[in-house]
Structure 1
Amino acid sequence: MKKKIIIVDDHTLFAQSLHGLIKSYENFEVLKVCKNGKELMEYFNAGNLQPDLILLDIIMPVKNGLETMEWLKKTVPEQKALALSMEHDEKTIIAMLKMGCRGYLLKDIDPDEFIHAMNSVLNTGYYYSKEISELVINGEKKDAFELTSREKEFLYFACTEMTYKEVASEMQLSPKTIDGYRENLFGKLDVKSRTGLVLFAIKNNIYQI
């Protein structure tokens, strides 16, 4: 049975191109294309078929991605969604993840990585980078994810609105030590940004959404 997708994006050309790309995949079909979160809400409220996955733009008129994720979290918390973004705005993406979004995609993503991302969310619940996804799915190199209690504490605070300087104060450590934690975890978890740290923390129940 084909996996059912809903696209929520106000850029008509991009949405149509994405629709065409998804149609080219054998195991996927598009149920509907919505121009904003309000149209998605109307779709759900009308009792229509719930999709397996929502591809959700962040910056939209009427009801944006953050507002839409907040509504989904309250109304259909089990619904899986992937964020789409023109820019890698870390603060917005982290907010989306904390609202229950299962990962993020940049709109210039390679088609092969795009389908990998969708399958990753549908099969494992979340989307990581290709390297992290393979480790989680295959269960390999588990030692890479054995974190100390202080590393887990740092990861928890990284999921909040705190700056790294504020995290240092909360953990009673120097900013230089916090920078060391961050860089060590970037290497250990094979991520390159705070967003990657947050996604790992959520997936591994270090931070509860």
Structure 2
Amino acid sequence: MSRTIIIVDDHNLFAMSLKRLVDSFQNYEVLEVMKNGEELVKYIKGNKIKPDIVLLDIRMPVMNGLEVMAWLKENHPAQKVLALTMEHDEETIIKMLNLGCRGYLLKDIEPDEFLLALEEVMQNGYYFTEATAHAMNHGPAEKNVKNITDRELEFLELACTEMTYKEIAGQMNLSPKTIDGYRESLFNKLQVKNRIGLVLFAVKHKILEV
């Protein structure tokens, strides 16, 4: 039985090329290609066949990707969504993950990794980049979860929000230098390289509920 996909992207040439790629994968089929989030919402409200995965662009007219994710989180939180976009700023990625996005892909991704992302979302619920997935599924990173201190855990939870590091320092009544220390300690313990890695780790270990 084919796994079904809906593509939501306002760039028609890209969207149709993506449809051909997805349809070429064994056991995958594109149900619909839509130009904006409003079309997706109308489709779902119409009680039509829900896709296994929605491939969602971020910057679109009428209703953008963030607005779609907010609506889905409120109305259909179980719907699996993979962001596929050119937007790669940290703030947008963290917002999408907080709204329940199952993975975040850039449009220059290689076809093999794209297929891997689809498979991972279907089988495990989320897709992490190869480097991040390796760090979070192998070696000492898993063991070090138990070594996170209460204050580091508090910092980690705040790092999953849209607060800046300076705002987190104020919230925790600590100096920015101390916050930098917590950040670097968690980077080392969890084997991640940036704040996005922290958020992905928190999602995987249900520290952050999405």
The reply to whether TM is greater than 0.5 is: yes
* Counterpart amino acid of residue 7 in structure 2: I
* Counterpart amino acid of residue 184 in structure 2: E
Comparing 161-170 with 3-12, which one deviates more in the overlay? 161-170
Preserved contact between residue 5 and residue 29 of structure 2 (Cα < 8 Å): yes
* Counterpart amino acid of residue 205 in structure 1: K
Deviations 1:11-66 (A, max 9, x none): 11111111111112102111111110111112112221111100100000010001
Aligned residues: 208
Residue of structure 2 in register with 1:84 after alignment: 84
* Counterpart amino acid of residue 107 in structure 1: K
Per the TM alignment, residue 67 of structure 1 is displaced from its structure 2 partner at its CA by 0.8
Local SS of the residue matching 1:115: helix
TM, length-normalised to structure 1: 0.91
Per the TM alignment, residue 4 of structure 1 is displaced from its structure 2 partner at its CA by 0.6
Residue of structure 2 in register with 1:101 after alignment: 101
* Counterpart amino acid of residue 164 in structure 2: T
CA–CA distance in 1 between the matches of 2:109 and 2:145? 27
Per the TM alignment, residue 6 of structure 1 is displaced from its structure 2 partner at its CA by 0.6
Residue of structure 2 in register with 1:18 after alignment: 18
List 4+ stretches of structure 1 deviating above 6 A. Answer: none
Structure 2 vs 1, CA of residues 134 and 61 (structure 1 numbering), >3 Å: closer, same or farther?
same
Query: Superposed, which structure 2 residues align to 1:1-209 within 5 Å?
Result: 1-134=1-134, 141=140, 142-146=142-146, 147-209=148-210
- Structure 2 residue runs without a partner (length 5+): none
- Structure 1 residue runs without a partner (length 5+): none
CA–CA distance in 1 between the matches of 2:93 and 2:125? 17
Per the TM alignment, residue 5 of structure 1 is displaced from its structure 2 partner at its CA by 0.7
Preserved contact between residue 131 and residue 190 of structure 1 (Cα < 8 Å): no
CA–CA distance in 2 between the matches of 1:135 and 1:89? 22
CA–CA distance in 1 between the matches of 2:184 and 2:94? 18
Per the TM alignment, residue 144 of structure 1 is displaced from its structure 2 partner at its CA by 4.1
CA–CA distance in 2 between the matches of 1:51 and 1:90? 28
Preserved contact between residue 132 and residue 189 of structure 1 (Cα < 8 Å): no
Percent identity between the two aligned chains? 59
Preserved contact between residue 132 and residue 197 of structure 2 (Cα < 8 Å): no
Per the TM alignment, residue 93 of structure 1 is displaced from its structure 2 partner at its CA by 1.5
Structure 2 vs 1, CA of residues 192 and 14 (structure 1 numbering), >3 Å: closer, same or farther?
farther
Preserved contact between residue 84 and residue 104 of structure 2 (Cα < 8 Å): yes
TM, length-normalised to structure 2: 0.90
Preserved contact between residue 135 and residue 192 of structure 2 (Cα < 8 Å): no
CA–CA distance in 1 between the matches of 2:206 and 2:176? 25
